[in-house]
Amino acid sequence: MGEGISDYTKFCVDLRRQMWMAGVEEELRRLIWQIAVTGKYISAKIHESNRKLAGFKNIYGEDQLSLDRSADEILKNQLQYSGFVREYASEEQDVVVLIGKGREQYFVTADPLDGSSLVDTNLAIGTIIGIHKESIFARGRDSMVAALYITYGPLITMVYSAGKGTHEFVLNREGEYVLSQEHITLNEKGSIYSPGGLRKDCTEGHQKYLEYLEAEGYKLRYSGGFVPDINQVLIKRGGIFTYPALKKSPRGKLRLLFELQPMAFIIEQAGGIATDGADAILSLQVEDLEQRSPVYIGSRFEVEKAMSFLSANP
């Protein structure tokens, strides 16, 4: 290795060091680290699948799991080896899986691969993780101790919060997660909007809200991947992502445990807010794994504006 690289690493703050300096407790640090490292293995799987798209055959001729299920297997195994996790709840599993011995303090939720239908388009996709103590069947505000997401895009990035701010890391060429932005803070008001759902299926209040945003000159930013769409709001320091109640699905599309709670935790720690249109996402009681909720998440101004449109048009 040349001198350049050692000079470079001298100035890098890696994930473990940043978590230690931020005062994240040791077991939680190790768990977050383990999950971040797992992102590398999931990314390798994504690349393998992209090679298939490019016409490369699986040389062993074995049946391939779908990418979602492979990512789920990888995560579950890595969490089990970590020794810190009692139960694993995943969008890819029908029931909560006991992976520990019953004494571990953490309960992990996962959307192992979010936006997997975008893989063939070469858009960014992601992994979303929630970390809880005691139980996941609670209000996020009471049970969550940390959340993170990984983006698989032109770069692999990892954003986490352990309740001490929201921080972004980039996987460098040496395979280390290095700090890129610490204590990310959203502005009170942003300039982008990311609206899920077909407009014709939305409620009147939501339609009026979208018309308001457009009249105010908000720019449309919707990829169809929750992770990159939220990441855009975070990294651009504001704006709104919404997947509203629809006439035929009043609870919306996105899942409370696997998608909404972790993102709400991260965005709140960055000074933003996340509601279902009336109540904070983190105040909603989790009753079952499949539970969904409408969501308005991002800068304070846009989320509160949505709430006022919805309450004026019930």
**Sites of contact with ligand AHG (CB under 6 A):** 91, 111, 114-117, 196, 224-226, 253
Nearest approach in angstroms of CB 172 to Mn ion is 27
Give Cβ neighbours of residue 59 (< 8 Å, ≥ 6 apart): none
CB nearer to ligand AHG: give 104 or 114: 114
Angle subtended at Cα 158 by Cα 271 and Cα 169, rounded to the nearest 5 degrees:
85
Look up residue 292 and give its DSSP letter. Answer: B
Nearer to ligand AHG among residue 190 and residue 225 (C-beta): 225
**Which residue's structure tokens are 């936006």?**
115
Helix (H, G, I), strand (E, B) or coil at 309: helix
**Nearest distance in Å: CB 188, ligand AHG:** 24
- In the complex, what is the shortest distance from the CB of residue 46 to ligand AHG, in angstroms, rounded to a whole number? 13
Structure tokens at 296: 């308005």
What the block records as the tokens of 172 is 């460098």
Query: Binding residues for Mn ion, per CB under 5 A?
Result: 91, 111, 113-114
Nearer to ligand AHG, 66 or 285 (CB): 66
- Write out the H or E segment, with its range, that includes residue 87: strand 85-90
**Residue 228 binds which one of Mn ion, ligand AHG, none, with CB within 5 to 8 A depending on kind?**
none
Structure tokens at 23: 């005062």
Residue closer to ligand AHG by CB (options 12, 118) is 118
Do residues 278 and 293 touch, judged by C-beta distance below 8 A?
Answer: no
Nearer to ligand AHG, 19 or 136 (CB): 136
225 burial type by CB count under 10 A (0-12 exposed, 13-18 middle, 19+ buried):
buried
Which residues make beta-bridge pairs with 298? 240, 273
- Tell the smallest beta-carbon distance from residue 255 to ligand AHG (Å): 8
Least separation in angstroms between CB 162 and ligand AHG = 24
Which residue, judged by CB position, is nearest to Mn ion in the bound state? Answer: 114
Q: Which residue, 16 or 253, is less far from ligand AHG as judged by CB?
A: 253
Select the residue whose beta carbon is closest to ligand AHG and give its number: 226
Residue 195 binding result from ligand AHG, Mn ion, none, given CB thresholds of 5 to 8 Å by partner type = none
Q: CB of 190 within 8 A of CB of 241?
A: no
Which two three-digit tokens encode residue 307? Answer: 């709430």
Question: At its nearest, how many Å lie between ligand AHG and the CB of residue 124?
Answer: 10
